[in-house]
Amino acid sequence: MRDVDAAEEWLDSWVAGVDAQASRTVELSRRVAVLTGTARSRDGFITVTVGSSGQLESLEVDDQALRAGGAELSRQIMDVIGQAQAQLSAQVTELVRQTVGIDTETGQSVIHSYEVRFPARPDEEQRDRRAW
């Protein structure tokens, strides 16, 4: 009879753990869905906001940015989009840490998906940029 009681306690504990992890996963999903990443160019002439999946939500270009010319303006816009996406990825990593944990299969999967979609650029760490 003791073995049955122990097995029942183990099963109850396991189910509670699974329920708790599922609840944390739902919370992570809910919080990630409303995230945005925003970045501004060094000169402040370009501001970009991306949504939770990295999609462009807003782009503000000051008239002074037009002086750079088309090719340079395009490069700067793409750079600022990348900065906003990197910021988003960092926010997701922090939410994973707060909810499901970065050492869980779910946490690692979510972090990996953002790292694959928004890989860090080699010079990104060295850039003097302003990101919100």
Q: The whole model's pTM is what? A: 0.77
Distance CA 87, CA 107 (A): 18
Read off the tokens for 42.
């060094």
- In the chain, where are the structural domains located? 2-131
DSSP string, 45-58: SEEEEE-TTS-EEE
Distance CA 89, CA 80 (A): 14
Cross-strand pairs, 50: 37, 56
In angstroms, how far is CA 82 from the centroid of its own chain? 12
What dotted CATH number matches 2-131?
Answer: 3.30.1310.10
Cross-strand pairs, 39: 48, 131
Quickly tell me which residue has 């909810």 as its tokens.
Answer: 99
Tens place of pLDDT per residue across the chain (132 aa): 677 777 777 766 766 667 677 788 888 889 999 999 999 999 999 999 999 999 999 999 999 999 989 999 999 999 999 999 999 999 999 999 999 999 999 999 999 999 999 887 665 444 444 443
How much of the chain exceeds pLDDT 70, in percent?
A: 83
